[in-house]
């Protein structure tokens, strides 16, 4: 749908984020509450370093389970390093024909602690142009039903949803075949509208990264057609490695094209920047990378709503460079990201 995000919509976006930050800050000033205690027990009794985050931390994530396993098997140093992932909020990517059970589990776990659940909707038909993450819903109707199930599972809970990583950039760069393009725009626009029917759900349409679609006017046009005016903004750098300053500059230019739209950025694996030298498949399990800035809503930038770990650090990008299938947990890669992280 054409149009620019309204000022009132941007004001509504900031209010819940501020309220959540104040609420969790108050919790941090006390004994830390049951959420802090649950996360501490998940990683071996040490206090979690990110208790003030407004986002939910899954105490049973792959990283948290790996920490417990390594502790049990005498890999204490490795377990300690991996806590840099296990103790921080990471987005969930519900999969399968029905995303509802996984989302409801997260919502129930987060509710007592008044935390926002981070989610990625990633099931668009003809996904990823047939590459490592190919697949998605079998038809337009199947996708519509999937998004409806997704939204109903969120219910009234506070949630932040990144909508369909790569779907719009693949339209803008011509990778998606022409016969699927109109359908995709329609599905994305309808998905924004359906998710925004939930009273406390924020939605960000994915817009790639600054090394992908460099023409911001072209990317902005795709975002408008996909319904960004009804969303809370756009997301950048999902599953990629571009440095914060480059992503922010791109986000500011794209925001300017969209009348001041807000954005979020994925900092999960960009601590060392992208793989140098223009090597093949630089985006796929590149060696030598590091965790980036920790997730949080305190960015100091009026248009940048949050730093997020949207890609789950340690999940494989695909079978390149000896990795397991896309989306599979790869503990040794996760450990490398954690060991090379700053601080």
CA separation for the pair 210, 252 (Å, rounded): 11
One of 35, 58, 78, 128 is an active-site residue; which one?
A: 128
Collapsed DSSP state (helix, strand, coil) of residue 337:
helix
Kindly give the pairing relationship between strand 201-206 and strand 159-163.
Answer: parallel
Single out the catalytic residue among 35, 78, 166, 266: 166
How buried is residue 244: exposed, middle or buried, by Cβ count under 10 Å (0-12/13-18/19+)? middle
Query: Whole-angstrom Cα distance, residue 308 to residue 263?
Result: 11
Long-range contacts of 336-339 (CB under 8 A, 24+ apart): 336/287, 336/288, 336/289, 337/85, 337/269, 337/271, 337/289, 337/290, 337/291, 337/313, 338/81, 338/82, 338/83, 338/84, 338/85, 338/291, 338/313, 339/81
317 is catalytic: yes
Name the residue among 80, 83, 104 with its Cα closest to residue 92.
104
Q: Are 121 and 164 in contact (CB under 8 A)?
A: yes
Catalytic residue among 35, 62, 266, 317: 317
Alpha helices, DSSP H only, in the chain? 7-29, 33-42, 62-72, 76-86, 100-110, 140-154, 167-172, 178-195, 216-225, 244-257, 331-339
Whether 173 is catalytic: no
Verify whether residue 98 is a known catalytic residue. Answer: no
Nearest Cα residue to 71 out of 49, 52, 46: 46
Residues with catalytic roles: 128, 166, 317
């Amino acid at each position: 749908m054409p149009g620019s995000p309204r000022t009132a919509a941007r004001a509504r976006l900031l209010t819940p984020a501020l309220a959540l930050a104040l609420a969790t800050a108050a919790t941090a000033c006390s004994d830390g509450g049951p959420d802090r205690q649950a996360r501490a027990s998940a990683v071996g009794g040490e206090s979690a370093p990110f208790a003030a985050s407004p986002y939910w931390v899954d105490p049973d994530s792959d990283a948290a389970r790996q920490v417990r396993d390594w502790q049990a098997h005498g890999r204490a140093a490795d377990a300690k390093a991996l806590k840099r992932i296990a103790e921080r909020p990471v987005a969930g990517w519900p999969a399968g024909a029905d995303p509802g059970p996984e989302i409801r589990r997260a919502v129930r776990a987060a509710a007592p602690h008044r935390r926002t659940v981070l989610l990625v909707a990633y099931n668009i038909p003809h996904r990823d142009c047939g590459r490592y993450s190919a697949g998605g819903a079998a038809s337009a109707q199947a996708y519509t039903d999937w998004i409806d199930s997704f939204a109903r599972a969120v219910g009234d809970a506070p949630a932040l949803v990144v909508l369909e990583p790569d779907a719009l950039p693949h339209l803008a760069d011509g990778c998606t075949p022409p016969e699927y393009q109109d359908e995709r725009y329609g599905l994305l626009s309808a998905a924004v509208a359906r998710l925004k029917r939930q009273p406390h759900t924020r939605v960000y349409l994915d817009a790639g990264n600054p090394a992908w679609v460099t023409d911001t006017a072209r990317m902005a046009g795709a975002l408008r057609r996909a319904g960004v005016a009804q969303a809370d903004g756009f997301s950048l750098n999902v599953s990629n490695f571009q440095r914060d300053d480059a992503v922010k500059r791109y986000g500011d230019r794209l925001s300017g094209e969209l009348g001041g739209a807000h954005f979020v950025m994925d900092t999960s694996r960009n601590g060392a920047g992208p793989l140098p030298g223009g090597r093949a498949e630089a985006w796929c399990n590149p060696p030598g990378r590091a965790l980036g800035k920790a997730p949080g809503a305190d960015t100091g930038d009026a248009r940048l709503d949050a730093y997020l770990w949207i890609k789950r650090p340690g999940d494989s990008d695909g079978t390149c460079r000896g990795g397991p299938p896309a989306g599979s947990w790869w503990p040794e890669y996760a450990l490398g990201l954690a060991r090379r992280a700053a601080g």
